[in-house]
Chain A
Amino acid sequence: MTSTRRFLRGAAAVAALLTATTALTACSSKGGAQSQDAAGGGKRLTVAMVTHEQPGDTFWDKIRAGAQDAARDHNVDLKYSNNENGPEQATLVQNAIDSKVDGLAVTLSNADAVIPVVKKAVEARIPVVVFNQGIDQYAQAGAKMYFGSDEDLAGQTVGKRIASDGGGKALCVIQAQGSVALEARCAGVKKTFPNTENIYVNGADKPAEQASIGGKLQQDPAITHVVTLGAGDAMAALNAETDSGSKAKVVTFDLNPDAAKAIKDGKIGFSVDQQPYVQGYMAVTALWLNLTNGNDLGGGKPVLTGPSFVDATNIDQILPYTSNNKR
């Protein structure tokens, strides 16, 4: 009995401590914002960025790095939130509207779910910029600008390049089932290089992904090119080739330091980069320009941040930027 009591008293203390710690964290962050406010002078704008990021992804880290750099450069208070599921992301956009932010940057990966609430933001006279995903839907949502890559175009350029490379058969590796954007990339590849087969792998489990790609390469020796849709997946594909003894060329979408080094070493043919840092930076900057100077970019058309080729010809210039999380 007494031991239970003692445990309970301990539990209550832990609970109190937790509350206190969280409260303290909150207070200091508030203080920081206020002190910066005083230093900068004038009204500090608040921009909400709501994305479909799956937490802990290197690609999204670059988008956030760009957004944060832009927020710092323009003295904007950036409120970032994310959820990979459309309905939950829509609720987060509603959350931003409730918070009366000055501007909203949003991704439309789950367009049907998110558009209705983006329209509400437009009705509430919050300027909206769509970035990363939603090139076909951003205008319908009432957004003024779009920054991102055209996935279909990017896929087509990859397909053309494989064709001119004398490819026989391409394997397009989709690392997350059910993503419209990833499907569009592989569909684009198939448009300009018809002998393309899709394979679904679990990108969240790299060893399993490697095994799946390796198994496919062993099963089908006709494959001459492996197209991966993310830089981390390209590394898994390279390992799979070593395991299976395949000679297929790996080409990839997006970049990370390892993939950049592999391009330099000639292990990866090329990368089509959609420049995530630029997407995050421009989304915040465009909102800032709009709010402070009434500008808009793109002349009513999407502003493309990709496809931008990274290969042996320009890797020397780009390689240093990959290590500080900007490419």
Chain B
Amino acid sequence: MSTAVLGQDTRAVGRGRPGARWTLTGGSSLGLGVVLLWFSLLVLIPLAAIVATAGGEGWHGYVDTLTNPQSWAAIKLTVGQSLLVTGVNVVMGTLIAWVLVRDRFVGKRLLDLVIDIPFAMPTIVAGLVLLSLYGPRSPLGVNVSNTQSSVTLALAFVTLPFVVRTVQPVLAELDADVEEAAASLGASRTTTLRRVVLPAVIPAVAAGAALSFARAISEYGSLVLLSGSLPFRTEVVSVRVLSFIEGGDRTSAAALATIMLGVALAVILALDVLQRRVARRG
């Protein structure tokens, strides 16, 4: 279950593989060709089109986009809130993973199931779900709609599973012997946690944090109904890109999108390095 959604070991293609690999034969060359053609038509060429469109105006296209006060406010809000939510996830996600692996109580399986709901739920529905508890007719009397807190709330909702699901399997596979050895050598509980458990889970926490940051900066659907997308206040980068598209200004949309793509690529690279480290420890 734990790796159902975000198996952290699934990316470790470069890891040592059992069994020899075959070089390409006629049939598989054809397969590779078809797969690559589809991948190019679907992903690579369209993403290249964004970069090309943004580059059409040279550097000043980017500079204009970045210095536009409204876009800059959106970037600041998105990055700031994403960092905040990632911080929350690092703490809460690790804590939840710990509870799910090390604790036993009635309802643990339910808790484990609920963690996956944000991943499977349509994003627009996620916004509406949060609105029904934290919106204008809130049974709690808390109304966050159209405030910055609504952005925090929505991002925390959609990124909830990431750290939990990357830390959980690592914690589950942690060798009990090592902890017992530490304890038998006189280490206190805190020392064992700090010196044995923590170093083992840190790469997984970092990988989860990277995933949750990447998801948070690109979030759109859950914010539509919740945040009101007020310029300078609750407008995130994705909404800004969409309003450029709807306004017919594809160059500015592409420039802003290129910046987001760059961040996404950086996160992917960081993840790749982290996954290797996780794999080496495992």
**Do chains A and B interact in one complex?**
no
